[in-house]
Chains A and B, each alone.
Chain A
Amino acid sequence: MKRDDKRQDKAPEAAAASEYDPYDELVVTGPTTFPVDRRDFIKLTATGLLVLFSTRAFTPEELEAQGRGGQYATDFNAYLHIGADGKATCLVGKVELGQGPETSFAQVLAEELDVPVASVSVVMGDTDLCPFDGGTFGSMSMRSYAWNQVRMAGAEARAVLLQLASERLQVPVERLRVKAGVVADSADAKKTVTYARLTEGKRIERHLEGKATPKPVKSYTVVGTPLARRDALAKVTGKAKYAGDVVPPGALHARILRPPAHGAKMTQVDTSAAEKVPGVQVVRDGDMIAVLHAHRDEADAALALIKAQFARNDPPVDDKTIFDYLVKNAPAPRAGAQAGNLADGEKLVSEIIEHRYEDNYDAHAPIETHSAVAAFENGKLTVWAGTQTPFPLKNQVMSALHLSAEQVRVITPYVGGGFGGKSGSGQGVEAARLAYLTKKPVRVVWSREEEFFYDTFRPAAVITIRSGITAAKTIGLWDYTVYWTGTRGTEMFYNIPNYRTSSVGGGYGGGTSPHPFGTGAWRAPGNSTNTFARESQIDIMAAKAGTDPVEFRRKNMIDPRMLRVLDAAAKRFGWTPKAAPSGRGVGVACSLDAGSYNCTMVEIALDKATGHVQVTRVACVQDMGVVVNPEGAIQQMEGCLTMGLGYALSEEIHFKGGDILDRNFDSYQIPLFSWVPRIDVEIVPNPDLAPQGGGEPAICGVGASIANAIFDATGARMFRMSMTPERVKAALART
């Protein structure tokens, strides 16, 4: 599966458009926005074949896939339905954030059922129709849900259908073949029956017990084939609906009074002027004060009339002092993975290298801000939300309003980017509370300023590494301590006899922490920070050893999967061995995330006068097991590599106490068109391994490979991300 470079390097001629009509392959379905009622849906599925959730105990992987704190509904929880028309519907609690699972889920089900992909409907992120799911995060959609649930449910359904066909046709199951939903006798082509015929007028229920045998991967014809995204037509025509586009009749905009800083508490408020504005309704519910109006500008104007005073309680820290603050406020380290013992390592090595690495707070900054619409009708609250976690949001709404499970439904239309930031969906609870109180449909669309203020930032972190190389240029010692961002990505793939990985303080979310505001999962949580530190330190050792960075890694690599992607990347990139700093400006980083192995190589152009770094080309090779939709996987890799330029080179949340100083894209700089290098990606085939992560792994090595390229270009070592021109210049001055 090699990247088709033609598309990248040369524009296809216009004439090419006529030989390929993409609309033939497209299904204009999209996540449902005004879908059927749950009762109607259950009626709709009264006949046909259903594969329902299992009553058996779940495996740890399945429990992980489902997420925490939820459970399957008992009245209806089907993974799939085959209707009287023979059409299959796949029901998935995951959501479409742009990462393309809507297309891939259809592929997996079509493969197991032997039906055309276009005939499979995918219903996503609807808590009334889909089986429970903990959320769309952790690169779990393919590697876990598609593989363990959808594929197995498809296999179960196929087995049932073949059994029925065998009885109907009086042919043993082994002799039956299925093509496009038609079962035929391989010995007598005239003996056929369709899936539609087999399920007609009946209701067949099977529970997913995991006993049916899915097809061997080798026989796959749909999974592994690049497929056009099914959301394409909707998204290029403006028809794709996002949460803020759902407008029930009479819907009001809500604008909510916000504190000026984190930690500030309201002491006084006067809403009288706002209340006098015609058409305005001011709602006060506990600590929430909201202004509702049919028009957003009117709501904004009325909100500005509210006079409120706040008592501030700023933490004594800012974006410059945060790193020492994080170390000072850290609890005792928790020992993680280790091997050998460090004292032996000290004796083994000829040189010890000790460094501290820092990484700052970053925002998720999806272009769609947190948005939700809620409507309370006939005793039932429906919330349309741009969220990565529809089921947890439903639970939050139920507990905020003391409503039963039957009274709350969360529907997830298309989501305009998440990256971990929409795992929290406070806007959904806000809209739900306001709709419930006012009995009117309410829209909450956060402003960009609210989005930056309430983001659960990628946490700032500190990592210290004490490592040593032996006279034989091997790594004999590795003592790694990470503060406040967790150990994701630190699995040891280097051959180090004596190492220890310690984590201080919590991971990226939950628990108490010294972070002055919310932090949370940001695409491959913690991994880009860990990879930056580890791969920089490895590079420093390679330089001390006077060895080419790729050769040094190869020599010290213990994991064959990583070795394979390293070699493939070197070939793809055209890496020629030379000890750094070579003056060329090339850098390498290896990373491991969500079960996928990745090697990223970059070439940069560095302006020594300004400190500006331009990445000119990237080669990125990934081993991600079975690839369901190579086209989708490549898009994710490209997206990761592009998004990664931001955390590497520019992104940083500036703050002072509880004040967030970056509130819009004017000062918070995300990657622009002119930054984007030539991107060359490759997925190495590994069909013997189940699908691994796809949405996150390729972002992990961007920062590290650029840091190493800066060193290779100049001899200046970066110990801090983001690597802004100012910091690059400072590093050059130190050199």
Chain B
Amino acid sequence: MRPVSFTLNGKPTRLTVDEKRMLLWVLRDDLGLTGTKFGCGQSICGACTVLVNNEAVRSCVTPVGDVEGKQVLTIEGLGRDGRLHPIQEAFVRHAAFQCGYCTPGMILEAYAFLLKNPKVTRADIVSRMESHLCRCGAHVRIVPAIETAAAAMKGGAR
């Protein structure tokens, strides 16, 4: 157990915790942010994806000690000033989900790569999303949703 400090959704956060505990469970149980989901526990499905210093990481295999001093963003922190982020908006508009369980991870993965470069082709999106699993079969809507979001982000939306 030791104090770990990081920035969570823009707010300084400090807690005393076993630094080996996975970020997923720290977020869900220690911090009460349940939008980050447990899916496979082995970094395969992507449901637990969050951003650490603007990189998409799998929180189920990321010890909380690793985010010391870093910026962590979860689905709860993506929208700003009570407004949805363009990616969330696009997922709503395209109904790019069914059960919604993989959705936070999908949205954050897309956010991470669009943040770096919103000029993406459909093939880029497919290849970036390949490591995210959706069992309901919303893929045909997720890809166009990300294209819509990319267009908005090209226009300057962050």
Contacts and interface: CB of A to CB of B under 8 A. Distances in A.
Contacts of B75: 237-238
User: Which of A97, A236, A639 counts the most chain B CB atoms within 10 A?
Assistant: A236
B: contact size bracket: 35 or more
A551 B134 CA distance: 37
Given A417-B136, A643-B135, A297 B37 contact: no
Given A236-B91, A367-B99, A665 B133 contact: yes
B135 A670 contact: yes
B151 interface: yes
Given A237-B79, A296-B25, A671-B137, A445 B99 contact: no
B100 A674 contact: no
B134 to A, nearest CB: 7
Nearest to B108: A238
A232 B103 CA distance: 10
B18 A297 contact: yes
Interface in B120-158: 125-127, 129-130, 132-144, 147-148, 150-152, 154-155
A19 to B, nearest CB: 11
Interface in B42-63: 42, 44-45, 47
Interface string A659-692: 0000011100011111010010000000000000
A362 B68 CA distance: 42
With most chain A CB atoms within 10 A of its CB, the pick from B36, B75, B93 is B93
Interface string A96-116: 011110000000000000000
Interface stretch (A119-127, A135-143, A239-247): A239-247
Contact of B32 (A240, A247, A631, A664): A247
B100 A235 contact: yes
A295 B15 CA distance: 15
A229 B96 CA distance: 10
Contacts of B102: 367
Given A99-B98, A674-B127, A239 B137 contact: no
A233 B137 contact: no
Contact of B103 (A235, A415, A639, A665): A235
A673 to B, nearest CB: 5
A448 B35 contact: no
A242 B37 CA distance: 10
B30 to A, nearest CB: 8
Nearest to A451: B40
Contacts of A642: 137-140
A14 B137 contact: no
Contacts of B65: none
B21 A295 contact: yes
B92 A22 contact: yes
B97 interface: yes
Contacts of A367: 37, 39, 45, 47, 99, 101-102, 133-135
A272 interface: no
B70 interface: no
Contacts of A237: 35, 75-76, 78-79, 84, 88
A404 B136 CA distance: 37
Interface stretch (A4-12, A317-325, A473-481, A564-572): A4-12
A668 to B, nearest CB: 10
B129 to A, nearest CB: 5
B96 to A, nearest CB: 8
Contacts of A241: 34
Given A639-B137, A671-B137, A448 B98 contact: no
Which of B33, B37, B129, B132 gathers most chain A CB within 10 Å?
B37
A365 B135 CA distance: 7
Contacts of A228: 92, 95
A638 interface: yes
A8 B140 contact: yes
Contact of A368 (B29, B32, B101, B142): B101
Interface in A622-640: 631, 635, 638-640
Nearest to A675: B139
B107 interface: yes
B115 interface: no
A503 interface: no
Contacts of B125: 673
Contact of B130 (A236, A643, A674): A674
Interface in A428-457: 445, 447-448
A468 B28 CA distance: 61
Interface of A: 7-8, 11-14, 17, 20, 22-23, 26, 97-100, 228-229, 231-242, 244-245, 247, 253, 294-297, 365-369, 414-417, 419, 445, 447-448, 631, 635, 638-643, 664-666, 670-674, 676, 679
Interface of B: 18, 20-22, 25, 28-29, 32-42, 44-45, 47, 74-76, 78-79, 84, 86, 88-95, 97-104, 107, 125-127, 129-130, 132-144, 147-148, 150-152, 154-155
25 contacts: A17-B148, A23-B92, A26-B92, A98-B136, A228-B92, A229-B95, A236-B84, A237-B75, A237-B76, A238-B35, A241-B34, A245-B28, A247-B32, A247-B34, A366-B101, A369-B38, A416-B37, A417-B98, A419-B135, A445-B38, A448-B40, A448-B45, A635-B141, A641-B137, A673-B129
